[in-house]
A and B are shown apart, each in its own frame.
Chain A
Amino acid sequence: MTVELLKGNVALAEAAIRAGVEAYFGYPITPQTEVLEHMARRMPELGRVFIQAESELAAINMVYGAACTGARVMTSSSSPGISLMQEGLSYIACSEVPCVVVDVMRGGPGLGNIDPSQADYFQVTRSAGHGDYHAIVLAPASVQEAIDLTALAFDLADRYRHVVMVVADGLIGQMMEPAELPPMQPLRKERPEWALTGAVGREPNIITSLELSAPGLEEVNLRLQAKLAEIRQTEQRSTEMLTEGAKLMVVGYGTAGRIAQTAVKQACREGMRVGLFRPITLWPFPERRLSMLADSVDAFLVVEMNAGQMVEDVRLSAGGQVPVTAYGRTGGVVPVPEEIYYEIAALYERL
């Protein structure tokens, strides 16, 4: 395949199309509207389903309905829209039907602004909707990674019959980078046996998230928890660099991780032994690898575009063995490599 200059949002959308997404339901919201617009052009071209819904509430429920038919379906939104989708995501997760949700985070809380942010880390990892569950959350740091993780998202969603979120921020959504799209996958013809396809010669299939009996609902929850345990065991993903002999480990995901990388490299050129750990799955958090690294480093510096959210997961993984410091910018401010470098240098001096 060819390398082309692609905008993050467009690449995400086209990657989903190549992965065989059959229906897209969405609503305009900056900074992800290009996903919707790309889908508006391409899905009808390919004879697939596209609807600009009347709201994010409607969009996620269209996703829910379509997912019940066993098709590959997705939506995309940004922070305030994801808040509106949380009810639907909870129903979807409890019902155990697969779907993919793209979240291109912006400054918040409230209406906030349209600048890039990571302020919804807690929202996507802890509270993709009410109730006892976690969505699988994948966090790309480049346009290429966004493409690769979108394809993975659909596979994981189907494998586990679960909600998979691909979370970027406005910077990744808007920037243009050279990247390669995979070839077009054919649409699947078979529908899963649990899907709502019409009760022809079989007992009706029911898809619901209601269970009025408490012991019954506990059983549902135990089943979900078992699934999550398997996901936690099997699907942790991360990447790292310069970890060999590092005294200080910088941890960042998405854009923050990428910017931190520049600062880390600079620190190494200055003779400091600093490494970078970049989670790719935010849920399941790559605790296994991170806790191994905690054995050999003296400190962690967590860089985020929020007031300190993933730092809590780093602290949990580090198990109290080493100090964990947070550095962040909020409100849509994107840190520059220099400010992260100064944080690294100041911390390193005190080690």
Chain B
Amino acid sequence: MTAVEGLAEEQLVYRRPEALRDVPTHYCPGCTHGVAHRIVAEVLDELGVRERTIGISPVGCAVLAYKYFNTDGAEAAHGRAPAMATGIKRLMPDHVVFTYQGDGDLAAIGIAEIIHAAARGENFTTIFINNAIYGMTSGQMAPTTLPGQRTSSTPTGRDVELAGYPLRVAELLAGVTGGAYIARRSLHNVKEINRAKQAVRTAFQAQLAGLGFSMVELLSACPTNWEMTPPEAMQWIEEHMVPYYPLDDFKVIDEVQALMKRR
């Protein structure tokens, strides 16, 4: 901002990150994809890596994420983003590679790919958007749908006898040797959003240090398919999702611990 004579120079306190394109997104009101995109973009800017980043979009509501991130991007087949990321990162290890995936993409059809990418210690970062439902296809059960939760394919509420139990992905992947940093955070209020950004930053820093696979699971809202207002949705995350999906660091190898301390 330029100074105007007689007035103190104003400080720029808020701007669109360079890593986010100046285009409107298609997300619903109250959807936290926008927040998650922004967090990732801010971190890419702060780390100065936008120009060597390649983002991989999922099949899901974020299928068009490559239109929103101001980086090279690719669109993966459903669940296969970790395999694509593997191919890209192995050929270009000095680049920053991330996948951005929903709960169907990562935990249903793509569960093999994410587990093995973690096991191989593939040096990319996964942003995992857990909103306990399939958004893009209008509200079916996801692997992370809670017991008793109503969805279009569990209209009377998820019955664990028939449909089994939800997967706690962060915990699952934390058990895989090869992961460097596996964390779960939430996007349901400002405090948690700030903590989420810290975790995303740690994850990308782990990648830059070549420490292995990093993932941040982000509890997210889907007001449209949960059939709630945005404020109700945020409350639902706090009251129902957080107790089942605790917010914590599930895997932090020593070198990542050191990175976090140096901040």
Contact A49 B90, CB 8 Å, known A199-B70, A201-B51: yes
Contact A23 B90, CB 8 Å, known A196-B72, A204-B71, A209-B75: yes
Whether A58 pairs with B70 at a CB distance below 8 angstroms is no
Residues on A with beta carbons closer than 8 Å to the beta carbon of B120: 51
Whether A204 pairs with B88 at a CB distance below 8 angstroms is no
Q: Does A29 contact B (CB under 8 A)?
A: no
Q: Of residues 93 to 121 in B, which have CB atoms within 8 Å of A's CB atoms?
A: 95, 112-113, 115-116, 120
Whether B50 pairs with A196 at a CB distance below 8 angstroms is no
- SS of A interface (majority): mixed
Which of B74, B77, B83, B113 lies in contact with A68, CB distance below 8 A?
B74
Whether B50 pairs with A61 at a CB distance below 8 angstroms is no
Residues on A with beta carbons closer than 8 Å to the beta carbon of B64: 210
Q: Does B231 contact A (CB under 8 A)?
A: no
Size category of the binding interface on chain B: 35 or more
Q: Does A53 contact B (CB under 8 A)?
A: yes
Whether A206 pairs with B116 at a CB distance below 8 angstroms is no
Q: Does A64 contact B (CB under 8 A)?
A: yes
Q: Of residues 51 to 71 in A, which have CB atoms within 8 Å of B's CB atoms?
A: 51, 53-55, 57-59, 61-69, 71
Interface mask (B80-92 → A, CB under 8 Å = 1, otherwise 0): 1001111110111
Whether A88 pairs with B77 at a CB distance below 8 angstroms is yes
Whether B72 pairs with A204 at a CB distance below 8 angstroms is yes
Contact A198 B95, CB 8 Å, known A58-B83, A62-B86: yes
Whether B75 pairs with A65 at a CB distance below 8 angstroms is no
Q: Does B53 contact A (CB under 8 A)?
A: yes
Q: Does B54 contact A (CB under 8 A)?
A: yes
Which of A49, A63, A65 lies in contact with B85, CB distance below 8 A?
A65
Which of A51, A65, A87 lies in contact with B84, CB distance below 8 A?
A65
Residues on B with beta carbons closer than 8 Å to the beta carbon of A199: 50-51, 53, 70-72
A66 to B64, CA, bound (A): 21
- Could you tell me the distance in whole angstroms from the C-beta of A84 to the nearest C-beta in chain B? 11
Which residue of B has the minimal Cβ distance to A70? B91
A23 to B89, CA, bound (A): 12
A87 to B110, CA, bound (A): 14
Residues on B with beta carbons closer than 8 Å to the beta carbon of A88: 77, 80
Interface mask (A274-287 → B, CB under 8 Å = 1, otherwise 0): 00000000000000
Residues on B with beta carbons closer than 8 Å to the beta carbon of A207: 73-75
Whether B74 pairs with A61 at a CB distance below 8 angstroms is no
- Could you tell me the distance in whole angstroms from the C-beta of A63 to the nearest C-beta in chain B? 6
Which of A55, A59, A66, A201 lies in contact with B88, CB distance below 8 A?
A66
Interface mask (A101-122 → B, CB under 8 Å = 1, otherwise 0): 0000000000000000000000
Whether A23 pairs with B72 at a CB distance below 8 angstroms is no
Q: Does A208 contact B (CB under 8 A)?
A: yes
A197 to B86, CA, bound (A): 15
Residues on B with beta carbons closer than 8 Å to the beta carbon of A201: 51
Whether A69 pairs with B73 at a CB distance below 8 angstroms is no
A59 to B50, CA, bound (A): 28
Whether A66 pairs with B72 at a CB distance below 8 angstroms is no
- Could you tell me the distance in whole angstroms from the C-beta of B60 to the nearest C-beta in chain A? 12
Q: Does B168 contact A (CB under 8 A)?
A: no
Whether B85 pairs with A198 at a CB distance below 8 angstroms is no
A197 to B77, CA, bound (A): 20
Contact A206 B73, CB 8 Å, known A58-B116, A61-B113, A65-B84: yes
Could you list some 7 contacts between A and B, CB below 8 A? Answer: A62-B84, A63-B87, A65-B76, A88-B77, A198-B71, A206-B73, A208-B66
Other than A59-B83, A62-B90, give 12 A-B pairs with Cβ distance below 8 A. A25-B87, A51-B86, A51-B90, A51-B120, A53-B116, A54-B113, A58-B80, A61-B113, A64-B80, A88-B80, A198-B52, A198-B54
